[in-house]
Structure 1
Amino acid sequence: MELDVVSLSRFQFAMTALYHFLFVPLTLGLSMLLAIMETVYVTTGRAIWRQMTQFWGVLFGINFVLGVATGLTMEFQFGMNWSYYSHYVGDIFGAPLAVEGLMAFFLEATFVGLFFFGWDKLSKLGHLAATWAVAIGSNFSALWILIANGWMQNPVGAAFNPQTMRMEMVDFFEVVFNPVAQAKFVHTVSAGYVAASFFVLGVSAWYMLKGRHIALAKRSMTVAASFGLAASLSVVVLGDESGYLATEHQKMKLAAIESMWETEPAPAAFTAFGFPDQAARETHFAIHIPWLTGLVSTRSLNTEVPGIRDLVDLAKLRIRQGIVAYDALQGIRAAGGSGEPIPAAAQENFEANGRQLGYAYLLRRYVDDPRQATDAQIDQAAWDTVPQVAPLFWTFRIMVGLGVFFIVMMVTFFYLASRRRLDRYRWLLWVAVFSIPLPWVAIESGWFVAEFGRQPWIIEGVLPTAAAVSHLGIWDVLFTICGFVVIYTTLAIIEVKLMLKAIRKGPAFDNAHPKPNASLPSPGMHGAKPVPAE
């Protein structure tokens, strides 16, 4: 990584986003699991389901507080590190963020208080409604954030205004119902559900291994396995939809993920293994699975998936069209500044080529005035549209491999739960315990693929990342990076310690709702000695 303001600003935002997204998936998933558990309590009246809701609610609360603390600072970075981005697209990007704060976050935060302090002050149905409001608010928060992020991947419902030099919203509903945003939303929240399911499954398995809270652990594992199985299957289906949309809107990202340097005859093969070589522009020792990429990305047998070289040639064409648009823009702005009528030729050229204006800005790395760019500089800028292939290639395969593992795990525990055999295989319980971090590895990998894969664009095809940063010094950014890392690492350690303390302590039982009856453990785990199921 070059030590410049652009790279350091990217690294800072990546670090803060990575830390923040340690907390978000668990908030999304646990809020839904709490609502499910309390629904069972209200419909059955069995005290243990109330105790389950309260216990997992404590862990949810710890995670929620730290998620809010790490999330607030992220939005300030748009003004601190990405001021030109905020100026350029603030009218569009700011709208979903404002709606998220006004509608979703305040809904969630308000009812979190009722969830924790309303157990003996609200009716059963009233408290259940508050719990579902927390779950709905959490998911609505994710919706609006992902609408904003999806617009960066597929900028619809907006147009560039030559007079203000800004992107302006022309259709709010097109932004909201952006297919990329909707696919990212359902895919992301499903991944959060998987993370929470593995968390509940693993903690409950630890209780089973220790012979503590057996009744609570078994019921929690059953809920987690059922919910997690549905979520893990959904992640695969919705990930397929994301791949299909990438074929339409982010062809270079897809080609880089597949390390596909040349366009292959339809249907394109999937590169299961290989060593991408960016310098040589080829993939060594590649092992292909016929047809798979073509079927997933195009859902057909006769549609080609363009390779990197052909996409670079297309980028060269777009850069040249962008230069025409840039030249026309200068004529329009000059006429506007002098009060003269806008030349018809300039207006016509901009209308014909204005959508490629962002490609002209790629040349700013090599020349101040894109109109003065040489053929060699245009070639360099076109190859800059290719992200680093090897990190994308391997990260994507880690994510997919873990996704398959999640399905196998959830199918296994769902089967054991249905047969009432959750305590039969101790080694499987240990697998569940040690699998707790894996969904976070998959989720962070997915975000890396999504965000790293669209470089060099901060807004796909509209604004290069290098053009979006604030005018800061290198030491200014380095200082804030160090500050964020220290503070966020401290917060992460605090959360882990609080979580572990709450887990070791176990569920608390109040006098109004006594402990459930003790249950006998299986001889394979505790012999014939009865273990109380708190």
Structure 2
Amino acid sequence: MTTMDVVQLSRLQFGLTAMYHFLFVPLTLGLAVLLGIMESVYVMTGREIWRQATKFWGVLFGINFAMGVATGITMEFQFGMNWAYYSHYVGDVFGAPLAIEGLMAFFLEATFIGLFFFGWDRLSKVAHLAVTWLVALGSNLSALWILIANGWMQHPVGARFNPDTMRMEVTDFMAVIFNPVAQAKFVHTVSAGYVTGAVFVLSISAFYLLRGRHVELAKRSMTVAASFGLAAALSVVVLGDESGYTAGENQKMKIAAIEAMWDTEPAPASFTLFGLPNQAARRTDYEIKVPWMLGLIATRSISTEVPGINQLAAHAQVRIRSGLLAYAAVERLRADRTDALARADLAAHGDDLGYALLLKKIRPDIRNATDAEVEQAAWSTVPQVSPLFWSFRIMVGLGFFFIGLFAVAFYLASRRRLLASPAFLRVALWVLPLPWIAAELGWYVAEVGRQPWVIEGVLPTFLAVSSLSAGNVLTTLVGFIVFYSTLLVVDVYLMIKAIRLGPGLSEPDRAPSPIAVPVAAE
């Protein structure tokens, strides 16, 4: 077994904790809005069953929210512990959205979630409804500011390298906030969270209907989940198209790797529906293509080319050589801060400085890099193609599946045929894990797709880590795995216990003849 270095271990640790944390984020986003919808119906109709539905799904929301907080805090500490140079280099930019998230969103959500649980008999109906929607607003604002920070890592705008401080600094905070990549990621991610919440409510409601328990509550919950989920699933596809367009504009290598497109095709480029990427041979075998589709998604035109991996790697060599001029200018400014010519060279080539830093993984004295080493550094900008290729296609396939699932659920609910459709109820029960799989694959594509960059085009990942030993990182990694695994067991136990107990009704709505459901689903 090859020994892993500090960079690999730090990436693995952050990747595991981030993807584990993201198990809770989508459900929090989706359930928060569904709670608001259900309580709104209660306030408008005055029917007690909607109050009970809101309280029941609120319990599951609370369990999930607590786990999300516990796992999210450790992620932020890692920026200082494992990624100290990253925090030093871009903390002026990256830290601002995270600070605002804590002050504006997390405290809002955390404050009002207490009122949600303990204010049912202390607040008026309208006041409590406002609290519920403020919890949902807090959840969405939290996602917004975090994705603004993450979007800046994908497309660093509104900031520049300051040679006097040797750090990236904000020049236009509005550009950071309204970064098109961040905004596209926000609406797409939030919509995916809505789908997750809707599938969760749909699946648990299907479980109750199959068992003949809490039928009236389950039917109403399923109807809300079906209509809300259908709108959300359609939004995910539409907003995913927007994400594809922004990536095509700003992260061309990511798009080329996702499509396993090695050479530039005549516009408009085809979308590879199926293929077997061979990165060693730099080709894709057994391709099945859909004409024009990639060109329309990535460029929204029929005349703009989508560059291939080979051409992008060649262009990376040009940027590395330009970056070496910027690096030389920085070295001259270290010696003499008044060197006007060096400042002029840095201004002319500073956008490519990060590309020159890729050479530091190959040799320390990068100004003496050979042509072969420049080519090697250029090809390091190509991420792992095959995992990205298949992760993206599975995610997209699941997205279209959810549209079909919710469309059928909406039809059956509107025709009042849910109880008469046990086959669909069983499908709805067993699809419960799928939105999490799609969400995790989406994050994998977004984050692995921009490697080798921790900040696209600015800072390579291998330069961003702290000065730690591999043993120290491995120790904390094992500790996180044990701790998070324990939390997962507790979370699943509490969720299952709450679902088995149900909404605490006196069962006046029990169906006369429950449909058999496999014991494993309990």
Counterpart of 1:470 in structure 2 is 466
Secondary structure (helix, strand or coil) at the match of 2:303 reads coil
Aligned match of 2:375 in 375, 379, 386?
Answer: 379
Spell out, residue by residue over 1:91-113, the C-alpha distance to the aligned partner (whole angstroms, 9 max, x if none): 11000000000110000000000
Equivalent positions of 1:139-150 (< 5 A) are: 139-150=140-151
The offset of 1:349, in angstroms, is 1.1
Q: How does 1:106-125 map to 2 (within 5 A)?
A: 106-125=107-126
Matched-pair contact (CA < 8 Å) for 2:215–2:511: no
Look up the match of 2:266: 265
The answer to whether the aligner puts 1:389 opposite 2:377 as a matched pair is no
Q: Secondary structure at the match of 1:160?
A: strand
Q: Which runs of 5+ in 1 are unaligned?
A: 510-514, 527-534
What's the secondary structure of 1:244's corresponding residue? helix
Deviation of 1:295 (Å): 0.9
1:366 aligns with 2:368: no
How far, CA to CA, are the matches of 1:40 and 1:123 in structure 2? 15
* CA deviation map 1:22-68 (0-9, x unaligned): 11111110000001000000010000000000000000010010110
Distance in 2 between residues matched to 1:226 and 1:495, nearest whole Å: 28
Q: Any idea what the Cα deviations from partners look like across 1:306-351, whole Å, max 9, x if unmatched?
A: 0000000110000000000000111112102xxxx31x32122111
Correspondent of 1:447 among 436, 443, 446 = 443
Given candidates 414, 430, 438, the residue that maps to 2:434 is 438
Question: In structure 1, what residue type is equivalent to 2:402?
Answer: F
Q: 1:363-414 CA distances to partner (integer Å, 9 max, x unpaired)?
A: 0011112211000000000000000000000000110111111000000000
The letter of the residue matching 2:459 is L
Is the counterpart of residue 419 in structure 1 residue 415 in structure 2? Answer: yes
1:201-240 to 2 correspondence within 5 Å? 201-240=202-241
Partners of 1:322 and 1:360 within 8 A in 2? yes
Say if 2:295 and 2:301, in contact at 8 Å, map to a contact too: yes
* Paired residues of 2:274 and 2:288 also in contact (CA < 8 A): yes
1:168 counterpart = 2:169: yes
Aligned to 1:37: 38
1:118-197 correspondence to structure 2 within 5 Å: 118-197=119-198
Structure 1 match to 2:519: none
Q: In structure 2, how many angstroms separate the alpha carbons of the residues matched to 1:417 and 1:525?
A: 18
d(CA) in 2 for partners of 1:438, 1:432? 11
Q: Please provide the CA RMSD for this pair.
A: 1.3
- Alpha-carbon separation, structure 2, partners of 1:295 and 1:435: 31
Comparing 471-480 with 344-353, which one deviates more in the overlay?
344-353
Task: Give % identity.
Answer: 67
Structure 2: runs of 5+ lacking an equivalent: 517-522
1:28 has 2:29 as partner: yes
Contact 2:209 2:514 in 1 (8 A): no
Aligned-pair distance for 1:439? 0.1
Report the count of equivalent residues.
515
Confirm or deny: 8 A CA contact 2:199 2:432 kept in the other structure.
yes
What amino acid is aligned across from residue 187 of structure 2 in structure 1?
A: V
The structure 1 residue matched to 2:479, chosen from 465, 478, 483, is: 483
Distance 1:416 1:152 in 2: 44
- Counterpart contact for 2:210–2:514, Cα < 8 Å: no
State the 1:517 CA deviation. Answer: 6.0
Could you tell me how far apart the structure 2 residues matched to 1:519 and 1:320 are? 73
Separation in 2 of the partners of 1:149 and 1:390?
24
Q: Which amino acid aligns with 1:402?
A: L
Task: Give, as a single letter, the amino acid of the residue that structure 1 aligns with 2:194.
Answer: Y
Q: Deviations over 1:122-180 (max 9, x none)?
A: 00011111101100001100000000000000000101000111000011111001010
* Matching residue of 1:512: none
| Cα distance in 2 for residues equivalent to 1:94 and 1:65 | 24
Task: Verify: 1:494 aligned to 2:484, yes or no.
Answer: no
The answer for the alignment partner of 1:530 in structure 2 is none
Summarize deviations over 1:257-291 as a string: whole Å, max 9, x none.
00000000011001111111111000111111111
Q: How many angstroms does 1:427 deviate by?
A: 1.4
| Deviation of the 1:516 alpha carbon | 8.7
Instruction: Write the letter of the residue equivalent to 2:247.
Output: A
- AA aligned opposite 1:374: T
Q: Tell me the alpha carbon deviations over residues 188-209 of structure 1, each in whole angstroms, 9 at most, x when there is no partner.
A: 0100000010000000000000
The alpha-carbon deviation at position 187 of structure 1 amounts to: 0.4
SS in 1 for 2:336: helix
Q: CA deviation at 1:2?
A: 6.1
What amino acid is the match of 1:17?
A: A
Give, in whole Å, the separation in 1 of the partners of 2:511 and 2:493.
32
Displacement of 1:424:
1.4
Partner SS, residue 491 of structure 2? helix
Deviation at 1:423, TM superposition (A): 1.2
1:531 corresponds to which residue?
none
Report the residue type matching 1:348 in the other structure: A
Which residue number in structure 2 is paired with residue 250 of structure 1? 251
CA offset at residue 21 of structure 1?
0.6
Secondary structure of the 1:283 match is strand
Q: Aligned equivalents of 1:29 and 1:263: distance in 2?
A: 40
Tell me if the contact between 2:213 and 2:511 (Cα under 8 Å) persists in the aligned partners: no
In 1, the alpha carbon distance for the partners of 2:476 and 2:510 equals 54
Task: Report SS of the residue matched to 2:264.
Answer: coil
For residue 169 of structure 2, give the secondary structure of its aligned residue in structure 1.
strand
Does the Cα contact within 8 Å between 1:84 and 1:470 map onto a contact in 2?
Answer: yes
Does structure 1 retain, via aligned residues, the 8 Å contact 2:271–2:293? Answer: yes
Q: Report what 2:405 is aligned to.
A: 409
Q: Which moved more, 1:345-354 or 1:370-379?
A: 345-354
Q: What amino acid sits opposite 1:502 in the alignment? A: A
Q: Which amino acid aligns with 1:379?
A: E
Task: Please say if residues 211 and 515 of structure 2, whose CA atoms lie closer than 8 Å, have aligned partners that are also in contact.
Answer: no
Conserved? CA contact 1:424–1:524, under 8 Å? no
d(CA) in 2 for partners of 1:476, 1:466 = 17
Counterpart residue identity of residue 132, structure 1: W
Contact persistence 1:48–1:516 (CA under 8 A): no
Matches within 5 A, 1:64-83: 64-83=65-84
Matched to 1:468, the amino acid is A
Amino acid at match of 1:318: R
CA distance in 2, matches of 1:347, 1:13: 36
Say whether the 8 Å CA contact 2:273–2:290 is kept in structure 1: yes
CA drift of 1:519 comes to 7.3
